[in-house]
């Protein structure tokens, strides 16, 4: 069974948690696509764990810092 996401931070978290990356590419529309093997169907639960993790908060702050820099005159 495959699990697909376009969320770079979630993909990195899944790698840290030991899930095998099956494929990664940039779609024709420019979106990142990451495909993982999910033989036990556990990735959806791990994705929820990611949302509640420090990793997700870290990713959100990186995005905030980028916004601040883009809005500087």
The radius of gyration computed from the CA coordinates of the chain, to the nearest angstrom, equals: 14
Q: Is 66 left (phi over 0), alpha (psi -120 to 50) or beta?
A: alpha
> pTM to 2 decimals?
0.86
* CA–CA separation, 28 and 59 (whole Å): 25
pLDDT in tens, 5-40: 999 999 999 999 999 999 999 999 999 999 999 989
């Amino acid at each position: 069974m495959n699990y697909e996401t376009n969320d770079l931070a979630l993909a990195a978290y899944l790698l840290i948690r030991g899930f095998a990356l099956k494929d990664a590419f940039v779609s024709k529309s420019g979106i990142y696509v990451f495909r993982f093997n999910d033989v036990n169907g556990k990735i959806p639960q791990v994705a929820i764990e990611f949302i509640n993790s420090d990793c997700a908060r870290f990713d959100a702050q990186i995005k905030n810092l980028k916004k601040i820099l883009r809005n500087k005159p």
